[in-house]
Structure 1
Amino acid sequence: MIRKMTPTLRLVLLSIVSLIFWPTTVVKGEDPYIFFTWNVTYGTLAPLGTPQQVILINGEFPGPVINSTSNNNVVVNVFNNLDEPFLITWSGVQQRKNSWQDGVLGTNCPILPGSNYTYHFQVKDQIGSFMYYPSTAMHKAAGGFGGLHINSRLLIPVPYPDPEDDYTVIINDWYTKTHSALRNMLDSGRTLGRPEGVLINGKNAKGDGKDEPLFTMKPGKTYKYRVCNAGLKTSLNFRIQGHGLKLVEMEGSHVVQNVYDSLDVHAGGCLAVLVTADQDPKDYYMVASTRFTKTVSTGKGIIRYEGGKGPASAEIPEAPVGWAWSLNQFRSFRWNLTASAARPNPQGSYHYGQINITRTIVLANTAGRANGKLRYAINGISHVNPPTPLKLAEYYGVADKVFKYDIMQDRPPASDKAEIVMQPNVVNITFRDFIEIIFENHEKSIQAYHLDGYSFFAVAIEPGTWSPDKRKNYNLLDAVSRTTIQVYPKSWAAILLTFDNAGMWNIRSEIWERTYLGQQLYVSTLSPGRSLRDEYSLPDNSLICGIVKDMPKPPPYTL
């Protein structure tokens, strides 16, 4: 008996035949690409009224904003038209499996004058407000920095209505000396001293009625301001006359939406606030002023209501005083556990407080002298960048000819006056270990640190000296996942993270004279078996230098 073939059975048979005879070629879809070409040049501007040399990107100071969306492939072709080697680092971009694009001297050969290099990185599973800046020499003192946005994909809900517009605010302390002069000061053993002023998007309003507005707002509308501190050394307090700041995001994490009169933005840090134009339609000052300094410097910029009449009031809102206020503000920051992240899963589904700590590393900053000159160190080791980037030496199998692993102990020396040793500082960390890092500040000035390649949970900042019993004070529920952390004078800060991003990653002070003089280190997290599942191979366009320049290229990683 022959049965009639049903439509369902016919579809199943056709599918089987298709699988048997279909060509074996696999079509691989990629996430969208966005492309940029940047010409890095010198220019002359007068941010504080005195003409001086600055670094421009495509003629802009600050540089152009990179406006991307989660999972975009970002391609930036950088032409170095300066007279010195140059690199840009993408602060806060996690560069999953791809420290080759980090743009620091431990992973990349610098872009030589008159040449170019094309960065290619993916903002994988990230959102948030970040920035880029030069990582070489003291170039950051002259510019070359700008905003980097990673927007949520359309299908991922954001925990606030779409703003009327999205504005980038780069605040920074500023010196009127050139970056070369500042570098010479440090090379000679001197410190930089106090900056001459504060800029907001490269300017400081004079208040003479002739200032053009940095931003405009329509009455009744709400705007998003992404604020980043690209300065060399100073924490800055940010505020807007007569307007509340609703904090909504910090360095890639949605946060509980508290409203603040002002916010401290520490060196290297970024945050995003919502501001509603609910005041009388006229001009208002946006203000950034130095914190924890004997002399307060203030930068101003104009925000103008559309159709408004009247100048900004000369009465500037007062900044807070003392670091205890700032510490209390830090304690008010909480991760928004009900908001979605770049992935569809709620952020709160990652219970970091329930993971066992496998290693504790205590890092203490020290200042001292080596060879008669000022140096800064972490646990007594003052990092020196060798001619061969650390990551290249590791990849080519000649690490033993360039640096030694683990010369630094997991605890600082018993005395802050211990001799400072100058050499490359590389810590070896086992892939996927869950690590506790304590930053201890034994000095009277504030410190700030950044970790490339990762976000970490900032679980505590407290006065005094850390000890294991302090863990009872950790926030193990909703600490904000971020990429920078400040450490107040005579205090400590604790972070937790899983080192699951294979590569060579930089931990550095965001006080840039300290970074330049050695207050940084690298973390090597090796991929077991050189697997492409964990880390990308050396890109074909990589710049090669140092002792590996003429060596045969090692075979690429495999699955």
Structure 2
Amino acid sequence: MAPSSSLFSLLLFALLLGTARAEDPYHFHTWDVKYATLSPLGTPQKIITINDQFPGPRLNGTSNNNIVVNVFNHLDEPLLFTWNGIQQRKNSWQEGLPGTNCPIPPGTNVTYKFQVKDQIGSYYYYPSTSLHRAAGGYGPITVHSRELIPVPYDFPEAEHTVLVGDWYTKPLPDLTKLLDSGRSLGRPEGVLINGKGGKIESNPNPKEEPMFTMLPGKTYRYRFCNVGMKNSINVRFQKHSMKLVEVEGSHTVQNIYDSLDVHLGQCYAVLVTADQEPGDYYLIASTRFTKEAVASRALVRYDGGKAPAPAEIPEAPVGWAWSLNQFRSQRWNLTASAARPNPQGSYHYGKINITRTIKIVNSAGAVDGKLRYAINGVSHVNPETPLKLAEYFRVADKVFKYNLIKDDPGEVGETMTMAPDVVNATFRDFIEIIFENREKSVQTWHLSGYSFFSVAIEPGKWTPAKRSNYNLLDAVSRNTIQVYPGCWAAVMLTMDNAGMWNLRAGSTERAYLGQQLYFSVLSPELSLRDEYNLPDDQLLCGIVKDMPRTKLYTI
């Protein structure tokens, strides 16, 4: 018997309602974090592993997927992980930094829950507490486009994740002691590619196993991330060119490069076609802008190929002017679809009025005879109570003061103030940040919670007249920016993501010794549409440890 029209309508409504409320897919991960003795550069070291892996397992998903990571801390000290480049929309509770989260005590576990909302691209994670980054614990994050959103190139045969970075062989306690005593870490001993250091030799090693394989005639996507601590890295293949297709979540104009500079914290995706004679070839990764470059290699083998790798090793470019020109050649692909938010029509960012300009000037100096780094004269220190928790529980005045730095610091000397550095930002303001590098080394900056438009890098000092040189059409939307010696860089963004967000130097040494700050972006209406409430299972510590939990935000 056929159902009545009213019953049929009710059933149809229930079906549609259930479909509308269906959540995006979940991916569950369990991590056991512990030390293992490994020898990535030939010297036995204590390395932080995840599920006995170094680098750690890949977090792989699709735009809008929900990621759940249950972290068991088997180390002998507190631990946090941060997700470099994942924007954590409305959810700085999951950022995993000392300014937002209480660390996971030894012998306990904490579950991170976040959504890769409106994102695609190449990212990575790493431990953010103490100097744990120097002992490993990092791994890749890849976010793919949904099937309904076309990718502006043919889908590759396969993809390879390549985590490159400089590496120290000194034990972690020794490195920490160096910084705490007011000294620099010095030069790294080598470069790792996916946790391995292969020396550059004139003759191929016939027993060397390939790190990557390719089928003749096929095209592969290589995702490069610089997970190092101090140096920019140049990557290049023997006999093969690279087609750039993505920078930190943005499809790019598909330029061809013989080599790429990947600065600290940055990620790039390229296409490489196996169009040479079948055999072995090397991928080379070497430090840039150093007096003596250190390098490593990884073997790439054509499936079925027998020929040894060529003896000739391609050289890295020289000087930062070449690198600056490479930055200028990188453009946003405006014809490509992508999973990305569009606050205030920010695809047309060049037509939005700037409401605030903040100039960031890095400096180095000494406090009580010990090396420190600063932003606009303030060297950040992490208080016992995370900044976000202090703000949420309305006890911020007992933990930190807002706006210790000036938007335009003028001339910055070596005098520094050591304090928690928190800048108030107005929700949904469209701001301009100018990074001035008055030092002799290349600097890199990362902003969590956001992508910004990298509109210019130029030599000299910035003035408002320099805006006439901005790329206001197709600057790449990304989350890191490099600044060459004696240069400035300009980025633009809408502060539409409520929460507590970290701006930090890409150099681990500099960030550890104070070159970072936090932007506090508050929802004026205390609305759940803008920010999530404190999670029920969030760890509490410091002065808020025993305070009753409240729901600050409402519909």
TM-score range, shorter chain: over 0.9
The letter for the 1-side match of 2:197 is: N
**Do the aligned partners of residues 275 and 400 (structure 1) sit closer, same or farther apart at CA in structure 2, a change above 3 Å counting?**
same
The letter for the 1-side match of 2:333 is: N
**Do the aligned partners of residues 305 and 373 (structure 1) sit closer, same or farther apart at CA in structure 2, a change above 3 Å counting?**
same
Q: Identify the match of residue 442 of structure 2 among 442, 446, 453.
A: 446
2:234 aligned with 1:262: no
Whether the 8 Å CA contact 1:156–1:344 is kept in 2: the answer is no
The aligned residue for residue 53 of structure 1 is: 46
Provide the C-alpha distance between the structure 2 equivalents of 1:514 and 1:120, rounded to a whole number of angstroms.
29
Provide the C-alpha distance between the structure 1 equivalents of 2:483 and 2:374, rounded to a whole number of angstroms.
16
What CA RMSD, in Å, does the superposition of the two structures yield over aligned residues? 2.1
The aligned residue for residue 380 of structure 2 is: 383
Provide the C-alpha distance between the structure 1 equivalents of 2:47 and 2:218, rounded to a whole number of angstroms.
36
Q: Deviations over 1:272-302 (max 9, x none)?
A: 0000000011111000001000001011000
Provide the C-alpha distance between the structure 1 equivalents of 2:221 and 2:13, rounded to a whole number of angstroms.
54
Q: Deviations over 1:389-422 (max 9, x none)?
A: 00000000100110011111111242423x1000
Whether the 8 Å CA contact 2:241–2:272 is kept in 1: the answer is yes
2:301 aligned with 1:304: yes
**Do the aligned partners of residues 14 and 35 (structure 1) sit closer, same or farther apart at CA in structure 2, a change above 3 Å counting?**
closer
**Do the aligned partners of residues 526 and 162 (structure 1) sit closer, same or farther apart at CA in structure 2, a change above 3 Å counting?**
same
Whether the 8 Å CA contact 2:377–2:412 is kept in 1: the answer is no
Aligned length: 548
The aligned residue for residue 400 of structure 1 is: 397
Q: Can you give the 5+ residue segments of structure 2 that lack an aligned partner in the other structure?
A: none
**TM-score (normalised: structure 1):** 0.95
Whether the 8 Å CA contact 1:357–1:436 is kept in 2: the answer is yes
The letter for the 2-side match of 1:182 is: L
**TM-score (normalised: structure 2):** 0.96
The aligned residue for residue 340 of structure 1 is: 337
The letter for the 1-side match of 2:149 is: I
Whether the 8 Å CA contact 2:361–2:412 is kept in 1: the answer is no
The aligned residue for residue 163 of structure 1 is: 156
Provide the C-alpha distance between the structure 2 equivalents of 1:81 and 1:354, rounded to a whole number of angstroms.
51
The aligned residue for residue 456 of structure 1 is: 452
Whether the 8 Å CA contact 1:338–1:348 is kept in 2: the answer is no
Aligned counterparts, 1:430-445, within 5 A: 430-445=426-441
Q: How big is the shift at 1:138?
A: 1.1
The aligned residue for residue 209 of structure 1 is: 206
2:506 aligned with 1:510: yes
**Do the aligned partners of residues 353 and 344 (structure 1) sit closer, same or farther apart at CA in structure 2, a change above 3 Å counting?**
closer
The aligned residue for residue 4 of structure 1 is: none
2:363 aligned with 1:370: no
Q: How big is the shift at 1:350?
A: 1.7
The aligned residue for residue 518 of structure 2 is: 522
Q: Deviations over 1:178-211 (max 9, x none)?
A: 2221111000010011100111111122443222
The letter for the 2-side match of 1:508 is: R
Aligned counterparts, 1:122-201, within 5 A: 122-201=115-194
Q: 3-state SS of the aligned residue for 1:470? A: helix
Q: How big is the shift at 1:127?
A: 0.3
The letter for the 2-side match of 1:66 is: L
**Do the aligned partners of residues 281 and 348 (structure 1) sit closer, same or farther apart at CA in structure 2, a change above 3 Å counting?**
farther
Q: How big is the shift at 1:555?
A: 2.5
Provide the C-alpha distance between the structure 2 equivalents of 1:343 and 1:498, rounded to a whole number of angstroms.
14
Q: How big is the shift at 1:136?
A: 1.1
Q: Deviations over 1:454-480 (max 9, x none)?
A: 000000000100010000000000000
Q: How big is the shift at 1:530?
A: 1.6
The letter for the 1-side match of 2:281 is: Y
Provide the C-alpha distance between the structure 2 equivalents of 1:71 and 1:430, rounded to a whole number of angstroms.
27
**Do the aligned partners of residues 20 and 146 (structure 1) sit closer, same or farther apart at CA in structure 2, a change above 3 Å counting?**
closer
Q: How big is the shift at 1:343?
A: 5.4
Provide the C-alpha distance between the structure 2 equivalents of 1:21 and 1:516, rounded to a whole number of angstroms.
54
**Do the aligned partners of residues 356 and 20 (structure 1) sit closer, same or farther apart at CA in structure 2, a change above 3 Å counting?**
closer
Q: Identify the match of residue 100 of structure 2 among 102, 107, 110.
A: 107
**Do the aligned partners of residues 17 and 326 (structure 1) sit closer, same or farther apart at CA in structure 2, a change above 3 Å counting?**
closer
Provide the C-alpha distance between the structure 1 equivalents of 2:450 and 2:14, rounded to a whole number of angstroms.
45
The letter for the 2-side match of 1:548 is: V
The aligned residue for residue 353 of structure 2 is: 356
Whether the 8 Å CA contact 1:231–1:267 is kept in 2: the answer is yes
Aligned counterparts, 1:319-330, within 5 A: 319-330=316-327
2:403 aligned with 1:410: no
Q: Deviations over 1:111-150 (max 9, x none)?
A: 1111111000000010000111111111111111111000
Q: Can you give the 5+ residue segments of structure 1 that lack an aligned partner in the other structure?
A: 1-9
Provide the C-alpha distance between the structure 2 equivalents of 1:498 and 1:21, rounded to a whole number of angstroms.
39
The aligned residue for residue 38 of structure 1 is: 31
Provide the C-alpha distance between the structure 2 equivalents of 1:18 and 1:67, rounded to a whole number of angstroms.
37
Q: How big is the shift at 1:25?
A: 9.8
Q: How big is the shift at 1:349?
A: 7.6
Range with bigger deviation, 293-302 or 203-212: 203-212
Provide the C-alpha distance between the structure 1 equivalents of 2:354 and 2:340, rounded to a whole number of angstroms.
25
Whether the 8 Å CA contact 1:243–1:276 is kept in 2: the answer is yes
Range with bigger deviation, 320-329 or 49-58: 49-58
The letter for the 2-side match of 1:287 is: I
Q: 3-state SS of the aligned residue for 2:315? A: coil
Q: Identify the match of residue 467 of structure 1 among 455, 463, 466.
A: 463
Provide the C-alpha distance between the structure 2 equivalents of 1:147 and 1:531, rounded to a whole number of angstroms.
33
The aligned residue for residue 250 of structure 1 is: 247
Provide the C-alpha distance between the structure 1 equivalents of 2:18 and 2:545, rounded to a whole number of angstroms.
37
**Do the aligned partners of residues 529 and 276 (structure 1) sit closer, same or farther apart at CA in structure 2, a change above 3 Å counting?**
same
The aligned residue for residue 69 of structure 2 is: 76
**Do the aligned partners of residues 509 and 21 (structure 1) sit closer, same or farther apart at CA in structure 2, a change above 3 Å counting?**
closer
Q: Deviations over 1:361-384 (max 9, x none)?
A: 000000001122110000000000
Percent same amino acid among aligned pairs? Answer: 68
Whether the 8 Å CA contact 2:454–2:477 is kept in 1: the answer is yes
The letter for the 2-side match of 1:373 is: K
Provide the C-alpha distance between the structure 2 equivalents of 1:556 and 1:523, rounded to a whole number of angstroms.
19
Provide the C-alpha distance between the structure 2 equivalents of 1:258 and 1:224, rounded to a whole number of angstroms.
15
Provide the C-alpha distance between the structure 1 equivalents of 2:19 and 2:195, rounded to a whole number of angstroms.
49
Q: 3-state SS of the aligned residue for 1:350? A: helix
**Do the aligned partners of residues 98 and 415 (structure 1) sit closer, same or farther apart at CA in structure 2, a change above 3 Å counting?**
closer
Provide the C-alpha distance between the structure 1 equivalents of 2:552 and 2:409, rounded to a whole number of angstroms.
38
Q: How big is the shift at 1:51?
A: 1.0
2:224 aligned with 1:227: yes
* Structure (1 or 2) with the larger CA radius of gyration: 1
